[in-house]
Every structure is written in structure tokens, then in C-alpha cells.
Amino acid sequence: MFELSISTSFAAAHRLDNYQGKCEALHGHNWKVEVTVKAEHLNDIGIAIDFKDLKAITNRILDGLDHTCLNDIYPFTEINPSSENIAKYLYEELEKQLTDFPVTVEKTSVWESDNAWAVYYR
């Protein structure tokens, strides 16, 4: 089994409804993102997925979040845009967009700061 990972980032504001603390107020983060996929086999040139393709697909998803207020974007109009929910959202969006590649999403990690992050996997 092979695992491949990329990292990228985006900037966005959010607030956590019903948090009862500072994070209930609108504030921003420079979010760091890591995506890990897995593959059982390599293609005839010895790769599972080109890193540039994985990063491009991830960045296309994140472009919809970048420099926004996450609370204004579905599904975060329905659920809090916590690091946990952002990681799950990214995982599910990647699953939909990687169907043409011989990889599966292993996990997504989202950092809201250097010392705090969430990981989603199934």
C-alpha cells in the first residue's frame, strides 16, 4: 500500500455559533491543510497520482473557501465551520473528485493554528 500526501493552505474567517467564548465572535485563520490518499498499485511509470493533480484538485475545492466567511458557504450555513467539520467537508469533496484516479482518500487534516488541528478519516 502506498500513501501520498500534499499540503496547502487557505485564509478564511469563521465564527462558532453557541461556543460561549471568544471563538463565537467572527475571527480569521490562515488554515493549513494536509491531504493523504492511498493506492494499492502504481501506474506504468511508477506513480499512483501526480502530486500536481492532487494539489490542483484540493486547491480547486479550497478556492471556494479562500478569503470568505465560512459561515456563509454551504454546508457551513447548516453546521459550524469548525476545524473538524472543515476536515470532513474536504474529505467528502475529495472523494467525489478523485473518482477518475486509482487512489482513495485516507485522511484530511486541517490546522487552524500551529498548535491546533483536526483530522478526519473513515
Active site residues: 23, 67, 112
Q: Is 103 exposed, middle or buried (0-12, 13-18, 19+ CB in 10 A)?
A: buried
Q: Within 10 A of 18 (CB to CB), how many other CB atoms are there? A: 6
Q: Does residue 81 have a cis bond before it (omega within 30 degrees)?
A: no
